Structure 1
Amino acid sequence: MDDVSKLMRRHTYVTKISTSFIYAILVSIAVNFFWTPGHIYSSGITGFAQLLTTISSRLMPFTISTGLGLFLLNIPLFLLSWRAIGHEFTIFTIITVFLSSFMIQLLKPIPLTHDPIICAIFGGAVNGFGTGLALRNGISTGGLDILGIVIRQRTGKSIGTINIAFNSLIIISAAIMYGWPYAFYSVLSLIVNARIMDMTYTRQQKMQVMIITNRPNTVIDSVQNHLRRGITIVHNAEGAYRHDAKTILFTVISRYEMGELEEALLESDPNAFASISDSVKILGRFYEPKP
């Protein structure tokens, strides 16, 4: 068992490092092929690094490159992550941010087009896919992700307000540097980035599941063997057509777990009826894997 465990752990490490490298390539393409030529700012720390590059090139005798700025701005967050989240998580975050900074530095801006709309859309799409892929494989891309995890662990609250305020500052800076049209193009890029990221990374999307079955114990065992989810049982339900006894099961899953739920139902009761809908808000305890 120890050999199997070591092999699985090694496979996980290789997957994470490979994903970090893929993310680094994608974010460098977004920055150097689209955002920089189109004068578009990203969100979060990457956008702040771009802003530092613009300010230093205009007002200082030397220019702080986006790649270097990205790594330097993340250093305080690395320290916070090391103390508050975990060493393994922090090490992979450092690897991801270092590779991203290196690739951004290595790939010089190539202006495929200067059309700001095209640059905003494709830059946001490429970066959103890379970020979603990284999150899907349990990798943090650094920046405000770390702050968000720490605040959520300690208070149970998200940093939505902080994110909005930080990104609003970047958008206003884009307006000051390049004019308000470019600020709105940056907003467009943020929207595309978020949309593509949500399509790629589905673990944070919650769904309410209602299962109607006449084999409740078998279904419950199968679902809980596949998923770490609590289930609420409603007894004494009745089918209106045949008036046979039914049991209703309620649970909440992430969209990421849809495949496992379907597999569990096929194994336990192929005739079960399941209704799945998006959940707007969850109050109370909902298990999420630790980073």
Structure 2
Amino acid sequence: MDDLARKHQNMAKISAAILYGICVSIALNFFWEEGGVYASGITGFAQFIHTVTGRFMPFTLSTSLMIFLLNVPLFIIAWFKIGHHFTIYTFIAVVFSSIMVQIMPLTQLTTNPIICAIFGGVINGFGTGTALKNDISTGGLDIIGIVLRKKTGRSVGTINIIFNVILVFAAGFIFGWEHALYSILSIFVNGKVIDMVYTRQQKMQVMIITDNPKVVIQMIQDEMRRGITIVHDVEGAYNREEKTMLFTVISRFEMHDLEAVMKKADDHAFVSITEAVKIMGHFYEAKIK
């Protein structure tokens, strides 16, 4: 059974890597290149190098080649700081995306830079978020973002935005501020879509009012590995019945698991879930391998 689950997980990761390669190649060759928009992260830096070498040097380094070469040192960081399996699947995602960017033909759907910025950001953000959701990375700032998130608690999408501001200002200074502003729009959209899809880093505070605290606590701890704070002798204002209040914090990714647990443990419990602005202290996150 474990072997079957592992094979299913591996296939999901490979599928996510392939999906990302398709998404980034469509975003780049259908929208960003045609609209004069720079992508986020290593892809944008690869575009920047391609443009600089093409304009100011006697040779041109292709975007697809630079996507791979710029990721090589980051593979080393991921191998030692994140995990071996994570790095292997990230390598697959980067190689496949480099190949897809090279072979995908440039297609002019529109030259409107705003449309190109928005749709390029949405498509690439979806591919990146799906990869991260399956515990793999698309390379580049994703790796840096994951490492820094462990230390700072900032979301991956937010870290992407911060890093990319520097790239956009460099591109704007050399090639023009109009397209730099469109690139900022695309990077912002890309980061927000990543956060919408990759929900594992988003924390939710859960309040549970229950008549069966022992069962609820046991099931949450067994199936979700979450710590719980217990408040005894809570009284309901309507029936004046004594109940128990439980507090815990989960990721948005775990909301479906919580719903399943509560249906089994206490289907009549009152559950309130709110977004946690900031978490201080220890919050368990499964280790990426």
TM bucket normalised to smaller = over 0.9
Which one of the candidate residues 1, 10, 13 is aligned to 1:16?
A: 13
Query: What's 2:29 paired with?
Result: 32
**Count of aligned positions:** 287
Q: How far off is 1:107 after superposition?
A: 0.8
How far apart are the structure 1 equivalents of 2:159 and 2:246?
A: 38
For the residues of structure 2 that align with 1:136 and 1:23, how far apart are their CA atoms? Answer: 12
Is the 8 Å Cα contact of residues 40 and 174 (structure 1) preserved in structure 2?
no
Shift of 1:162: 7.0
Offset at 1:65?
A: 1.0
Q: CA deviation at 1:163?
A: 4.7
The residue aligned with 1:229 is 226
Cα distance per residue 1:209-235 (max 9 Å; x no partner): 000011111111222233121111000
Q: 1:242 Cα deviation (Å)? A: 1.2
Q: 2:252 aligns with which of 243, 251, 255?
A: 255
Whole-Å Cα distance in 1 between the matches of residues 153 and 212 of structure 2?
38
Cα distance change on mapping 1:74 and 1:159 into 2, 3 Å: farther
CA distance in 2, matches of 1:278, 1:157: 15
Q: Deviations over 1:145-197 (max 9, x none)?
A: 222333455x4565989755531221113313442121111111112112222
Provide, for residues 51-109 of structure 1, a one-character-per-residue CA deviation record: whole Å limited to 9, x for no partner. Answer: 01110110111111111101000001111222232221111111110011110011132
- Residue in 1 that maps onto 2:145: 148
Contact 1:16 1:139 in 2 (8 A): yes
Q: Which residue of 1 aligns with 2:54?
A: 57
Query: For the aligned residues, what is the CA RMSD?
Result: 1.8
d(CA) in 2 for partners of 1:256, 1:29? 27
Q: Which runs of 5+ in 2 are unaligned?
A: none
The aligned counterpart of 1:193 is: 190
Contact 1:151 1:159 in 2 (8 A): no
Taking structure 1 as the reference length, what is the TM-score of the superposition? 0.93
SS in 1 for 2:274: strand
- 8 Å contact from structure 2 (residues 20, 97) kept in 1: yes
SS state of the match for residue 203, structure 1? helix
- Aligned ranges 1:202-213 → 2 under 5 Å: 202-213=199-210
The residue number in structure 2 matching 1:288 is 285
Query: Given that residues 39 and 178 in structure 1 are in contact (C-alpha distance below 8 angstroms), is that contact kept between their aligned partners in structure 2?
Result: no
Which blocks of at least 5 consecutive residues in structure 1 are unaligned?
none
Identical positions, percent: 56
Matched, 1:118 2:108: no
Structure 1 residues 158, 238: CA separation in 2 closer, same or farther (over 3 Å shift)? closer
- Tell me if the contact between 2:155 and 2:202 (Cα under 8 Å) persists in the aligned partners: no
Q: Which amino acid aligns with 1:175?
A: G
TM-score (structure 2 length as normaliser): 0.94
